[in-house]
Amino acid sequence: MSRCNSSWRWFFLVAAYLAVGTAVRAEELVARVRSDRVNLRARPDTSAEVIVQANAGDRFTVVSTQADWVAIVPPESVDFWAHRDFVKDGVSTVNKLNLRAGPGINYSIVGSVESGVKLDVRGQFGEWMKVAPSNGVLWISRELVDVVTSVRAASPPVPVAVEESEPAGPPLLPPAEAAPALGEVIAPISPQPMQPSQSPARAAPPPSDLTLVPLEGQGQQVQREGELKPAPFLFGRPSAFRLVKKEGVQMVTVCYVRGNTAQLNSLMNETLTIFGREYWVQGVKQPVVVLERIERRAP
């Protein structure tokens, strides 16, 4: 009977040691960036807004993975945007407050918060408030990161003392078999072959006659959709052309459009998808898109 009791004490001691050891090994998936100047985007699409860039060795907590994209927790240095009409004293006042990639409804939704949630307001631009990232994700190309399992280092567990009426026998773990050093191991996610890094193309300078708002991200590549219409003749308008879309019973301006005048005149009143670089101009509520490509809707 004494030998049996001793065996059970030994079993419970091992179980307690392993339980404590497991508790301190908190694991999470991390995306480790392979090269410099890697884009973090608002959506899993190469045409989506570039929110910020990361460099080789940067690490981000993974929210989910797709075949070609990885959703990550945004770095604290990133700014999200919320409309000021739905924020009072820094607190959301609507059931679902959308957080966007930029100060305008044309920017992608990158997160949302519920009513009563406190926001960390960092500034304001027009009708939009700049806030700390909250409850949202950014996206990074799967081929530009290694997804690894990160194990946070912690103090080694302390063995639980157990009263013994007999010698407990050999040590629980010999020194040579002590718990391995905590670190990281490659996660069993389909590996992608390393691709040679490519430097992004340098953005063309904005038109010299535009007075831009001092806002980070000017000139980013965007995709916009709408019907091409002439812009009202107003003092200071940045272009004679604009894209519009219907909201309720009204037609609202999506953006102003700059490009070849003859080409744009030939496309008047057609529904288009345009690609180009977007700029925010002082004194103008909607952005200006300098065209790079146009797609017409198939009849």
Query: DSSP readout, 87-139?
Result: EETTEE-SSSEEEESSSSTTSPEEEEE-TT-B--EEEEETTEEEE---SB-EE
The mean pLDDT value for 21-30 works out to 57
Does one domain contain both 89 and 4?
no
Evaluate whether residue 208 is within a structural domain: no
d(CA 144, CA 34): 6
The residue among 284 and 20 whose pLDDT is bigger is 284
Q: How far apart are CA 33 and CA 60, in angstroms?
A: 8
Task: Check whether residue 4 and residue 149 sit in a common domain.
Answer: yes
Is the model's pTM score more than 0.75? no
180 domain-assigned: yes
Q: Does 206 map to a domain?
A: no
Q: Supply the pLDDT for residue 211.
A: 87
pLDDT at 28 exceeding the cut of 90: no
| Alpha carbon of residue 244 to chain centroid | 28
Judge if 148 and 283 occupy the same domain. no
The verdict on 100 and 241 lying in the same domain is no
Residues 17 and 68 in one domain: yes
pLDDT of 272 above 50: yes
> What mean pLDDT, rounded, does the chain reach?
77
Q: Looking at the structure, tell me whether residues 143 and 69 fall in a common domain.
A: yes
Q: Which residue has the higher pLDDT, 232 or 154?
A: 232
87-88 and 271-279: which strand pairing? Answer: unpaired
Same domain for 81 and 165?
no
Residues 225 and 292 both lie in one domain: yes
**What percent of the chain is modeled with pLDDT above 70?**
71
What total number of domains does the chain contain?
3
Q: How do residues 50-107 score in pLDDT, each as one tens digit?
A: 999 999 989 899 999 888 999 999 999 999 999 999 999 999 999 999 999 999 888 9
**What is the per-residue pLDDT for 278?**
93
Q: What is the Cα–Cα distance from 178 to 159, expressed in whole angstroms?
A: 12
| Residue 209 counted as domain residue | no
Report the alpha-carbon distance of residue 72 to residue 59 in Å, rounded: 10
CB-based contacts of 260: which residues, under 8 Å, 6+ apart? Answer: 291
Does residue 278 share a domain with residue 191? no
Average pLDDT of the residues in 111-136? 91
Task: Give the domain extent around 113.
Answer: 74-133
User: Does residue 273 sit within a domain?
Assistant: yes
Classify the C-alpha dihedral 191-193-194-196 as positive or negative. Answer: negative
149 in the same domain as 118? no
Report residue 136 CA to chain centroid gap. 7
| Rounded Cα gap, residues 73 and 33, in angstroms | 14
Domain end call among 133, 158, 179: 133
Is 182 contained in some domain? yes
pLDDT at 27: 61
Same domain, 42 and 170: yes
For the segment 194-240, what is each residue's pLDDT rounded down to a tens digit?
A: 344 344 445 567 788 888 888 888 889 999 889 999 988 877 788 99
Say if residue 230 is in the same domain as residue 287: yes
CATH of the domain at 3: 2.30.30.40
